[in-house]
Chains A and B, each alone.
Chain A
Amino acid sequence: MGIQLKDICFSYTPASDDPLVLKNIDLTIDNGEFLILLGPSGCGKSTLLRLIAGFDHATTGSAEVDGSSIDGPGKDRGMVFQDLDSSLFQWLTVRQNVEFGLKVNRIEAGERKERANDALRMVNLTDHDHKFPDALSGGMKQRVQIARMLAMRPNIMLMDEPFAALDAQTRQMLQRQLVSIWSEVKRTAIYVTHDIREAINLGQRIVLMTAGPEAAIKREYAVPLEYPRDQSDQVYIDLLQTISKDIEEEVTKVWS
């Protein structure tokens, strides 16, 4: 079970004869796995994630979650957007943002509060729950997004470069926090990034895409390391080198 993508092709403009954005993508993601989608900028990582989220539909091929095909967004698949501001509800406090999903699903007040508290605790925002998003730092905004997702307890957590806009220290801190959240909730995580270190720090498996257009899967890497990942470990260093080389190959393909 888990997520199954079979022979996915995708174009934003299927009627035109522009090249496909994604071509013949086959990918299986197990339940509970932490999977990284890695690839050069513009290759189609977000597009692939949006297909899993159900925001867009594959032009051909099939996308299934636990055997049923994806037709639109669903609360079994939570999403954290790259953009800091655009997805938060600025007129709601942090807590109200986190409770939004619970409210629309008519979860009764007691449980709602409990689940929101849980989510806020996991992202360390308990003390900021009364603030409005525009009073938060970028890192805190992304934690609100994560908490909002966690409160729904989705089986699949989709994250599109959630920390890309943050400074290096904040990013590292949030990576560690994310790993501990993932270990606690034991749900599937699919995380998009173009940062190789981030990929190795977070993922159990890394899927590298080729440069677009007609992006496909170039190669997969298992990361046989314990969390938190030790950057001085020889396995880490070797993996970093291998992936860097493979990505470089793709990037030069685009620029030559």
Chain B
Amino acid sequence: MTRSPFNKTILGGRIGRSFWISTVSISCGLVAWEIAARLWIDPFFLPPVSTVFLGIIELIERGLLFGTIGISLYRILAGFLLGSIVAIPIGLIVGISITARAIFDPYVHFLRFIPALALTSLFLVWFGVGEVAKILQVMYATAFIVIVNTATGVVTTHENKILAAQTLGASPWQIFWLVTIPACIPSIYVGMRLALAGSFMVIVAVEMLAAESGLGYLIWTSKVYFKIDWMFVGIFFLGALGLLADYLWKMFGRFAIRRFVRESADY
């Protein structure tokens, strides 16, 4: 729904009922985990929260944690943003022009079904072991989701908006900038949100297969060294960063570009 006073934000001053419910829910989950890991589950398979927490401390003391998180975050954000910057114009053009659609569509729909992971080794050969290959893979994973959503936003823009703008004397170019783009911002917004989750998935896999740093690498090497608590630290931060990134994206939608995205930012 559009206007419920609560449920909006925990930063907006009005701390809603939902925030407290979520806090209690998270606390109960952590306590249940701790108890279960101490009483019933072999800590080799599931270390208690406290052990994971000690693992975090240990990684901080060794000076590993922030670098690890930082490099993953950097790859994700760079790939996500660059991928979107490339994808949005392509999506707009493909959505508007039948000719452009005929040119790009075969590539888009062929490539988007090739998982980025299938290309990891290839990218390694083409672009080397540096950051370029990794960021390109995140871009790859991001771009197709955003292209498809953007183009869908364009083609689902109601004809009446365009017709109304025409009767008001708007030129095709003005219609593109002042009607088509604003009208498909909700689709772009939702597409980017989905792509954000996709970029987390890709970067972890890439870091497991072809990197010497990052959260994926941490998880992978923890297995090799039987440091199951470190593995959980890696897993935990992926979830936490994802949650945070998604939350920030939602707040961006709700407050910065509310007039464009409207209900699309309510969930």
Contacts and interface: CB of A to CB of B under 8 A. Distances in A.
A74 B179 contact: no
Nearest to B169: A75
Contacts of B2: 134
Given A91-B182, A104-B178, A152 B161 contact: no
Nearest to A81: B160
Contact of B160 (A75, A83, A90, A92): A83
Interface string A66-81: 0000001111011101
16 contacts: A55-B163, A72-B166, A73-B163, A73-B166, A73-B167, A79-B164, A87-B163, A89-B179, A90-B262, A91-B183, A91-B260, A100-B170, A104-B165, A105-B169, A148-B164, A149-B167
A132 B159 CA distance: 20
A148 B168 CA distance: 8
A53 interface: yes
Given A83-B160, A87-B163, A132-B259, 17 more contacts: A53-B163, A55-B163, A74-B169, A75-B169, A78-B167, A81-B163, A81-B164, A87-B160, A88-B161, A88-B164, A89-B182, A90-B259, A91-B183, A101-B169, A101-B170, A104-B174, A152-B167
B223 interface: no
A251 B209 CA distance: 72
Where chain B touches its partner, the secondary structure class is helix
Nearest to A154: B167
Contact of B161 (A55, A87, A134): A87
B158 interface: yes
A51 B29 CA distance: 64
Nearest to A132: B259
A16 interface: no
Nearest to B179: A89
A87 B168 contact: no
Interface in A44-100: 53, 55, 72-75, 77-79, 81, 83, 86-92, 100
A88 B169 CA distance: 15
A148 to B, nearest CB: 7
Interface string B173-212: 0100011001101000000000000000000000000000
A90 B182 CA distance: 9
Interface residues on B, range: 20 to 34
A235 to B, nearest CB: 35
Interface residues of A, number: 29
Per CB-CB distance, the 10 closest pairs between chain A and chain B, nearest first, are A101-B168, A75-B169, A87-B160, A73-B166, A86-B158, A86-B160, A87-B164, A104-B170, A79-B167, A91-B259
A53 B161 contact: no
- Residue from the set A77, A92, A101 with the largest chain B CB neighbour count within 10 Å: A101
Interface in B120-143: none
Contacts of B179: 89
Contacts of A79: 163-164, 167
A87 B182 contact: no
Contacts of B164: 79, 81, 87-88, 145, 148
Nearest to B166: A73
Nearest to A85: B158
B169 A104 contact: yes
B171 interface: yes
A53 B169 contact: no
A101 B158 CA distance: 18
Contacts of A105: 168-169
Contacts of B182: 89, 91
A52 to B, nearest CB: 11
Contacts of B168: 75, 78, 100-101, 104-105, 148, 152
A148 B164 CA distance: 10
